Structure formats: C-alpha cells, structure tokens
Amino acid sequence: FIVSQLVVIAIDGISLNLLKDGLHSDVLQPAELRKLLPSILAQIEIGDTWRTGMIGERAFALPTFNNTVQVVGANIPGRSRDALLYLEFSQRAIDLPTENLDEFRAEAQRLEYDLQQGIRSSLLRQLDSIMTSALIPAYSATADAHVRRAVQHRLAAVAIGLRLFEQQHGQFPASLAELSQLK
C-alpha cells in the first residue's frame, strides 16, 4: 500500500516538474493557473495521505500474523507477540504529528530508530519480531517522500501566485505581503 503511495508521489513530482517548466516558460494562461491552484493547494498538508497509507499498510499486513506463512522454505506459525509489536509501531506511525513538517520527519526517524533498537535488543526479541521487521515500511524514507511532496506543492503554489501577479501587474511583487493581496 505504501509503495502505491510512493508511486503516486513520484508521478506527482513529475507533474510538478512539468508545471515548473510551464511557469518558467510562461506558457500557462491566468485561467489555467487559477484552475490548477486548488489542486496544488490540496496537497500542501500530509496528514490524511500519511494516515491513509499507514492504515492501509496495516490492513494488508495483519493477516500474515494470523496464519502460518511460508518464509524462505520454513513455516512460521501465527505470531501473537510479533503482531502486537507490529500493531504498536503501526499505531505510533498513524499518530505521528503531521502539522509541522520538521517535527514529523524527526518523529518518523525516532520511530524507525525505536523499532530497530527494540528488535535488535536480544536474540529472542529478534526471533519474536521477525515478521514485523520484514513488514514495517521504512518510516523515515516514507515520511521524507510525504514531506517532499508537501514542500513541492507549497513551492508550486507560491510560483503560481508569482506568475499570476506578474501577469496582472507586469512585474513581480516586492514582498510576500504584496503577493498575498493577489485576487
């Protein structure tokens, strides 16, 4: 599930690069820019997409803990301790604060570090968490992709605003305050 979100983020990045080229070349008309702006602004926050991805990932992974699973030629029976560990870290990922991008990234890195430290603490713990260590996504890398998307959309919104201002007034704004008065 996370991989599909990462693919969407990558394709979105390609489209933003095309938008950047269009803005740089000044080939987009004001009506087109105004039509694009709501779509750009809809992706400047990461909360919903992050949580949806983590919930979906959890939903797809949980059945593997209930059944005997064939892994590298060996059967691994249902793993209740492993499932509880997976649920704990999945919930912590879902609950990450997403309002501040820097805090979000730091917390995702901390979560991944906590998971790695907990799993590596003893040989028994490593055996008890074999499925979790295989199924948990790379939190910090996934968080970085979500942050990158939000930042790219924020920059794209400002760039659209700058181009609209320039098209209306024949020059770029002298300040952000002047840009914020754009209608």
Q: What is the pLDDT of residue 153?
A: 97
* pLDDT mean across residues, the chain: 88
DSSP characters over 126-177:
HHHTHHHHHHS--HHHHHHHHHHHHHHHHHHHHHHHHHHHHHHHSS--SSHH
- In the chain, which residue ranges form alpha helices assigned H by DSSP? 2-25, 30-41, 47-61, 63-66, 80-94, 101-119, 123-128, 130-135, 139-169, 176-180
Q: How many residues does the chain have?
A: 183
Q: Is the pLDDT of residue 68 over 60?
A: no
What is the pTM for the complete model shown? 0.84
| Tens digit of each residue's pLDDT (9 = 90 or more) over 69-93 | 555 566 555 567 888 888 999 999 9
117, pLDDT greater than 70:
yes
